[in-house]
Amino acid sequence: MIVTLDGQLQRRNFAPGCTLQEVIDQTRVQLDASRLVVGVTVNGQDFQDRQLEAELPQPLTPDAQVDLETADRLTVAVGALRAMAAEMADAARLQTEIARQLNAGQIAEGVRRIGDFVRSWQTCRNVVVQCSALTGRNLLHVKFDGATVAESLLELVERLRGLRDALEARDIVLLTDLAHYEMPALCTRWEKLMLNLADSVASCA
């Protein structure tokens, strides 16, 4: 079996029939604490997310080649925060389109997109929590615009609760107003907040 780490051949013996998870775990032992595995390729096939989860417990053949790629934890966190900021910027622009659809009577599509929008905020919160774990620093305590991220999240929950209530009540007039007047500003604020967090993490590098 051939195993490489950031392009370097790993000269260690892996037990016959070992799983992909075991190869990763044994190789990860030698990593500096500041780095983590971010890419896994088996026989030229790049595995991502759910597909990787399914492959981890599978035994590898003796002729398999496993290529592992690592990255600095802070770099990964900064990238994730900036990607989330970009998603918030896109969400702000989409609100006008959603409001237009609702006004035009395209209710089903508009409501569906609002539902997707509400769920995206859970991703936003998860990114903050995951980046806290990556950096070993509680980012919920970072201040932005006079409030901590934790306080901003509490405010966000209240705003989204109102949106969810209108969604469940199918109050199209209220949904249209929220999409047109309130949600773009909320998205823009969180875009700036996530960029501020990214800069804060980057400054520790």
pLDDT tens digit sequence for 155-186: 998 988 888 898 888 899 999 999 999 999 99
pLDDT of residue 33: 87
Helix (H, G, I), strand (E, B) or coil at 69: strand
pLDDT of residue 205: 63
Residue (of 57, 178, 201, 71) closest to 128 by Cα position: 201
Residues 6+ apart with CB under 8 A from 83: none
Q: Which residue stretches of the chain have pLDDT < 50?
A: none
Terminal-residue alpha carbon distance, the chain: 36
Residue (of 139, 117, 141, 118) closest to 128 by Cα position: 139
Segment (H or E) for 14: none
What's this model's pTM, rounded to 2 decimal places?
0.82
pLDDT of residue 122: 85
